[in-house]
Amino acid sequence: MHSSPAPRRSWLNFRSRKQQDRLFCFCLLLPAIILCVAFILIPIVDSVAMSFTDYKIANLTKNRPGVWNDFANYTRLWKAGKLQSAISITGTFVAWTVGLTFVVSMALALILNSEPVGARFLRSIMMIPWVIPTVIAGLLWAWIYANPYGLLQYLVNVFSKGEITDFGILNSKNTALWGVIIAGLWKQVPLMTLLLLAGMQNVPDDIMEAAKIDGAGYFTRLIHIMIPYMRSVIAVSVSMCIIENFKQYPLFATLTNGGPVGATTTLAVLSYNEAFVNNNYGSGAAVTTVWLLVMIVVVLVFNLIFRRGND
Amino acid sequence: MNNRSFLRISSSLFKYLALAVIFLFLLFPVYWMLVTSLKTNVESYRIVPSLWPENISFDGFNTLFRDGKFLVYYKNNLIVSAIAAVIICIISILAGYALSRFHFKWNVILLATFSFSQMMPVISRLISLYSIMRRLGLTDSHLGLVLAISATQVPFSVSLMASFFDAIPRDLEEAAWVDGCGRLKTLLRIIMPLVVPGILAVGIYSFLMTWDDYLHAITLVRSPQLWTLSQGLKLTYLGEVSDWQLINSASILGAVPMIILFFFFQKYMIKGLVAGAVKG
C-alpha cells in the first residue's frame, strides 16, 4: 500500500472519527446501560441464583448470603402441588384472556376499519380503559362484582328471573378466575384494537377490491388476504398480550388476592405471597424462575408456530 | 336485488349492534364508577341500582380532600411519575439516538438484552431488587422507587425514541459535521428539536406507565407518608368493609387526569405506540 499522503491522512482522519463515534455512542448509551444492568439484569440473575438457596428474612437483615439447599425450594413447592396448580391457573388465565382479547379486538378493529358513523371519535374514546391505572381498574370491577350490592349480582338476579339471588363471581372457586379474565379483557382490548387497526392500514385496498369483484365473500377475503397481510402486527400484538397477562398481578391483588381457596393463585400471586407474605425469599425466587422459563417457552413456541403457519 | 339489499341492511345492522355491545362493555364500567362516586352509600346499596344518582352527593370527594391521606398519596405519585418521566426522556433521547445512528456490533446485543428485559415480570426481580435497594439504603424512599420504575420503562422508551430518530435524514448531521459542529451539539441543537413529537410520546407514555405502578411501590416503600396512589388506594380504602362511594371517588380522581392527558396528546401517543408494534 503506497498511497499518497493526502488520502492517507483522510483515512487516518476517518479512523479517528470512527473511534470518536464509538466513544460518543458508548457515552450516550451509558445511562441506559447502568440503569438496566443495576435494576433489571443483576436482580434477575441474582434472583435465579437466590432460588437455589435458603434465603429468608434473617439473610436480608443481617446481609448474609443464602446457603445452597439442593433444590429444596423447588421440591417443596412441587410436592405441595403449589407449582403445578399455579402453572395451570396461569395457563388458563393467559389462554382465555389472550384468546378473548384477540377475538373482541379483531371484531372491533374490523368494524372501525369499515368507517362507521363516528369512527374517529369512537377510536379515541375506546382507549379509556387502557389509560385507567390497573389498580383502579381492579377497584372498578371489584365494585361491579361486589356481593352484596354489586351491579353484576343484580343483573344475574334479573336475568335468572330471581332464581340466583346472591351471585358473587369472586366468591366461588369456579367463577373467580373469570372475574379477573373479564377485567383483564376490558383493560387490554383497546390497545390490541389500536394495533390491529394500524395493521389494517397496510392491507392494500386494490387487492381487497379485486377479490371482491372476483366474488370472494367477506370471510374469504378476511382469511386469505387481510390476515396474511397483518401477520406481523398480529404476531407482535398477541405476543405483547401474552407477556402482559403472564405478568398480571395488580388485578389479582385488588380482586381476589389469590383466593378463594387458591383458585386464582397464579405464578405471580404465588411468588409474591411466598416472598413477601411468608418472607421466604428463596422460595419466591424459585417460583419466578419457573415463571420466567414458562413464559419464554410460551412466547417462543407462539412465534415459531405463527411464523411457520404463515410462511 | 331485494334479497341483496336486505342482506346489506341486516349486515350493517349487525355491525352497529356489535359496535354498541363492545362499547357498552368498554365504557359502561367507567360510567358506573362516575355515578357511584356521586351517589350516597345508602343509594348505592339499594337492591335495585339507580342509573343516575337521585341526589348528587360530593361527600366522597369532600372526605378524600379532608382526610389528610389521599392528597399525600396523590402528591407522592405526581412527584414520582413526573421525575421518572423526565429521567426516562433524557435517557431515551441519548440512547435512542445512539441506537438509531451508530451501528456497532454491541448495539445489536444491547437491543436484544433490552427487549429481553422488557419481557421480565416485575416480581421476578423485585425480590432481589428489594435486597439490593436495602444494601444501597434506597428502600422506603422515593429516589429508590423512581430509579426502579424508570429502569422498567427504559427498554421500551429507548426503542420508541430510536424509531423517531430513524425518521430524521442523516444528511443533517453530515452538514453539521462539515460546518464544524460537535456531536453532542448536533444532537442537542439540530436533531432534538425535530423529534419533539417523539419526546412527547415517550414522556407521556412513561408518565402513564409509571402512574400505573403498583408492585414497585408496594414492595419498596413502607411508610404511609411515602405511599403512592395505587398503593394507598389498595391499602387504605379497600378494607374489609369498603366505602364504595369513597373508593369510586378516589378512582375517578386517579383516572380522570390520565384520561385528559391522553386526549390532549393522543396524536403523539398513538403514533408512538403503533410505530413500535407495526414496524416489528
Which stretches within chain A are classed as H helix? 5-36, 42-50, 57-61, 72-79, 82-113, 119-125, 128-131, 134-145, 151-159, 176-200, 205-213, 218-221, 227-229, 231-247, 250-255, 267-272, 281-310
pLDDT confidence band for A194 (50 / 70 / 90):
very high
Q: Within this chain, do residues B146 and B9 fall inside the same structural domain, yes or no?
A: no
pLDDT of residue B279: 56
Q: What is the pLDDT of residues B133-150, one digit of tens each?
A: 888 888 888 999 999 999
Is B92 a residue whose pLDDT tops 90?
yes
**Average of per-residue pLDDT across A172-186:** 92
Is B278 close to A50, i.e. CB distance below 8 A? no
pLDDT confidence band for B276 (50 / 70 / 90):
low
Is A35 close to B26, i.e. CB distance below 8 A? no
pLDDT of residue A69: 80
Q: Classify burial at B98, counting beta carbons within 10 Å of its beta carbon; exposed 0-12, middle 13-18, buried 19 or more.
A: buried
DSSP state of B224: G
pLDDT confidence band for A2 (50 / 70 / 90):
very low
pLDDT of residue A129: 95
- Quick one: cell of A282? 428463596
**Average of per-residue pLDDT across A218-224:** 83
pLDDT of residue A14: 56
How many domains is chain A partitioned into structurally? 1
- More confident: B103 or B87: B87
pLDDT of residue B83: 95
How many domains is chain B partitioned into structurally? 2
pLDDT confidence band for B32 (50 / 70 / 90):
very high
Rounded to the nearest integer, the mean pLDDT of chain A is 84
Q: What is the pLDDT of residues B53-69, one digit of tens each?
A: 888 888 888 888 888 88
Classify A150 in phi/psi space as left (phi over 0), alpha (psi -120 to 50) or beta.
beta
- More confident: A8 or A125: A125
Phi and psi for A154 in degrees, rounded to 5?
Answer: -65, -45
pLDDT of residue A91: 92
Please indicate if any CB of chain B lies within 8 Å of the CB of A43.
yes
Which are the contacts of B184, defined by CB distance < 8 A and separation ≥ 6? Answer: A24
- The answer to the question of residue A159 being in a domain is yes
Q: Within this chain, do residues B10 and B140 fall inside the same structural domain, yes or no?
A: no
Q: Which of A41, A111, A116 sits opposite B117 (nearest CB)?
A: A41
Instruction: Tell me the C-alpha to C-alpha distance, in Å, between residue A247 and each of A291, B153, B191, B209.
Output: 9, 15, 37, 14
Q: Within this chain, do residues B33 and B163 fall inside the same structural domain, yes or no?
A: no
Rounded CA-CA distance B151/A34 in Å is 9
- The answer to the question of residue B43 being in a domain is no
The type of residue at B97 is: Y
Please indicate if any CB of chain A lies within 8 Å of the CB of B219.
yes
pLDDT confidence band for B277 (50 / 70 / 90):
low
pLDDT of residue A107: 93
- Quick one: cell of B206? 412513561
Which are the contacts of A94, defined by CB distance < 8 A and separation ≥ 6? Answer: A242, A245, A246, A298
Using alpha carbons only, give the angle A183, A189, A193 rounded to the nearest 5 degrees.
175
Which residue do the cell numbers 387526569 mark? Answer: B257
Which of B 170-189 lie inside 8 A of A, CB atoms? 183-184
- The answer to the question of residue A231 being in a domain is yes
Pick the residue of B10, B45, B91, B127 with the most A CBs within 10 A to test the interface with A by mutation. Answer: B127
Q: Which of B48, B255, B277 sits opposite A136 (nearest CB)?
A: B255
Q: What is the pLDDT of residues A67-87, one digit of tens each?
A: 788 788 888 888 888 888 999
Instruction: Tell me the C-alpha to C-alpha distance, in Å, between residue A21 and each of A12, A18, B163.
Output: 14, 5, 20
Which are the contacts of B159, defined by CB distance < 8 A and separation ≥ 6? Answer: B96, B99, B111, B114, B115, B276
Rounded CA-CA distance A132/A187 in Å is 8
Which of A 164-183 lie inside 8 A of B, CB atoms? none
- The answer to the question of residue A282 being in a domain is yes
pLDDT of residue A11: 47
Is A5 a residue whose pLDDT tops 70?
no
The answer to ipTM > 0.85 is yes
Structural domain including A204 reads 73-310
- Check: CB of residue A25 under 8 Å from CB of residue B98: yes
Which are the contacts of B192, defined by CB distance < 8 A and separation ≥ 6? Answer: B93, B199
pLDDT of residue B131: 82
Residues of A in contact with B124 (CB under 8 A): 44, 47, 271, 288-289, 291-292
**Average of per-residue pLDDT across B2-13:** 80
pLDDT of residue B134: 85
pLDDT of residue A61: 74
CATH number at residue A216: 1.10.3720.10
DSSP three-state, residue A2: coil
Please indicate if any CB of chain B lies within 8 Å of the CB of A131.
yes
The type of residue at B64 is: L
pLDDT of residue A6: 42
Beta bridge partners of A53: A68
Integer-rounded Cα radius of gyration of chain B: 24
Of A302, A276, A272, the closest CA to residue A287 belongs to A272
Identify which of B86-95, B157-166, B268-277 has the greatest average pLDDT. B86-95
How many other β-carbons are positioned within 10 Å of the β-carbon of residue A192? 26
- The answer to the question of residue B187 being in a domain is yes
Which of B 50-89 lie inside 8 A of A, CB atoms? none
Rounded to the nearest integer, the mean pLDDT of chain B is 85
- The answer to the question of residue B101 being in a domain is yes
Is B275 a residue whose pLDDT tops 80?
no
- The answer to the question of residue B50 being in a domain is no
pLDDT of residue A8: 43
pLDDT of residue A187: 94
Rounded CA-CA distance A93/A173 in Å is 14
Q: Within this chain, do residues B14 and B147 fall inside the same structural domain, yes or no?
A: no
- More confident: A281 or B3: A281
Residues of B in contact with A116 (CB under 8 A): 15-16, 19
- The answer to the question of residue B47 being in a domain is no
pLDDT of residue A299: 83
Q: What is the pLDDT of residues B206-246, one digit of tens each?
A: 998 899 888 889 888 888 888 988 888 888 887 656 788 88
Q: Within this chain, do residues B31 and B64 fall inside the same structural domain, yes or no?
A: no
What percent of chain A shows pLDDT beyond 70?
94
Q: Within this chain, do residues B18 and B88 fall inside the same structural domain, yes or no?
A: no
Tell me, letter by letter, the H, E, C secondary structure of B56-108.
CCCHHHHHHHHCCCHHHHHHHHHHHHHHHHHHHHHHHHHHHHHHHHCCCHHHH
Which of A 136-155 lie inside 8 A of B, CB atoms? 136, 139-144, 146, 148-149, 151, 154
- The answer to the question of residue A13 being in a domain is no
Q: What is the pLDDT of residues A134-161, one digit of tens each?
A: 999 999 999 999 877 888 888 888 888 8
Which residue do the cell numbers 422507587 mark? Answer: B145
pLDDT of residue B108: 78
Is A15 a residue whose pLDDT tops 70?
no
Is A44 close to B47, i.e. CB distance below 8 A? no
Q: Give the A:B interface size as CB pairs under 8 Å.
A: 260
Q: Within this chain, do residues B155 and B26 fall inside the same structural domain, yes or no?
A: no
- The answer to the question of residue B53 being in a domain is no
Q: What is the pLDDT of residues B67-81, one digit of tens each?
A: 888 899 999 999 999
- The answer to the question of residue A38 being in a domain is no
Q: What is the pLDDT of residues A243-258, one digit of tens each?
A: 889 889 999 988 988 8
pLDDT confidence band for A221 (50 / 70 / 90):
confident
pLDDT of residue A184: 95
Structural domain including B20 reads 2-37
Is A10 a residue whose pLDDT tops 50?
no
- The answer to the question of residue A64 being in a domain is no
- The answer to the question of residue B45 being in a domain is no
- More confident: A82 or A166: A82
Is B23 close to A131, i.e. CB distance below 8 A? no
What distance in Å separates residue B177's CA from the closest CA in chain A?
Answer: 11
Tally of CA atoms within 13 A in the half-sphere of B157 that contains its CB: 32
- More confident: B114 or A5: B114
**Average of per-residue pLDDT across A303-307:** 78
Residues of A in contact with B234 (CB under 8 A): 135, 253-254
- The answer to the question of residue B42 being in a domain is no
- Quick one: cell of A227? 390476515
pLDDT of residue A215: 81
CATH number at residue B104: 1.10.3720.10
Q: Within this chain, do residues B190 and B77 fall inside the same structural domain, yes or no?
A: yes
**Average of per-residue pLDDT across A22-35:** 87
DSSP three-state, residue B40: coil
Rounded CA-CA distance B191/B244 in Å is 50
What distance in Å separates residue A4's CA from the closest CA in chain B?
Answer: 23
Rounded CA-CA distance B68/B38 in Å is 21
- Quick one: cell of B104? 456497532
DSSP A161-221: TTS-----TTTSTTTHHHHHHHHHHHHHHHHHHHHHHHHHTTS-HHHHHHHHHTT--HHHH
